[in-house]
Amino acid sequence: VVSLLLAVIDDVKKPSSAIASFTFRHAFLERYLQRAKELLERVGLPDRTSHYPSQLSGGEQQRVAIARAFINSPPILFADEPTGNLDSTNGDNIVELLTSLNKESGSSLILITHNPDLAALSDREVRLKDGHIEAIVKHRRGGSKPARPGKSNHAMARGKAAPKRAKAAAKPAGKSAGR
């Protein structure tokens, strides 16, 4: 949620200001101010930089939050129900923004959602039930295919395929090859 006391431009550059305060403040602030303006342009809010949260719609506040999230080019970005409070048109716009900024930045985007349509847009889907992993689904162009049980979740989280296991290691313990 956008801070109630900050104008949009200040809110977007806030995470970078904390970093800049420890180093060469002026040069960093200028660079991050420019980056904040670029991101606000990218999310369609270049003319709203001096507005306050009460002057923005819910969709505009969500776009400010997305710009703020990408200001420091994070290697991983978590988006918890990014479309949950939006109508379908604004929700679609937010998804498009998140995915395009994600591709441009090269960061890993982890979406947390109850929306199966949104989950289906991902490369991989981890389905949880009662706090446990129920299934891991790899989404492909032609549909989705459940991943093999026992694949390394860690490798999948990094966006790489799990290494192939040797056939001998895949045999159940206690059974000989001749039986």
Question: Are 123 and 159 within 8 A, CB to CB?
Answer: yes
d(CA 35, CA 13): 8
CA pair distance 12, 56, nearest whole angstrom: 14
Q: Is the pLDDT of residue 126 over 90?
A: yes
- Please give the Cα distance from 25 to 27 (Å, whole number): 6
Chain segment 133-144, per-residue pLDDT in tens: 999 999 874 444
pLDDT digits (tens, 9 = 90+) for 73-102: 889 999 999 888 888 888 888 888 888 888
The whole-angstrom separation of Cα 70 and Cα 88 is 23
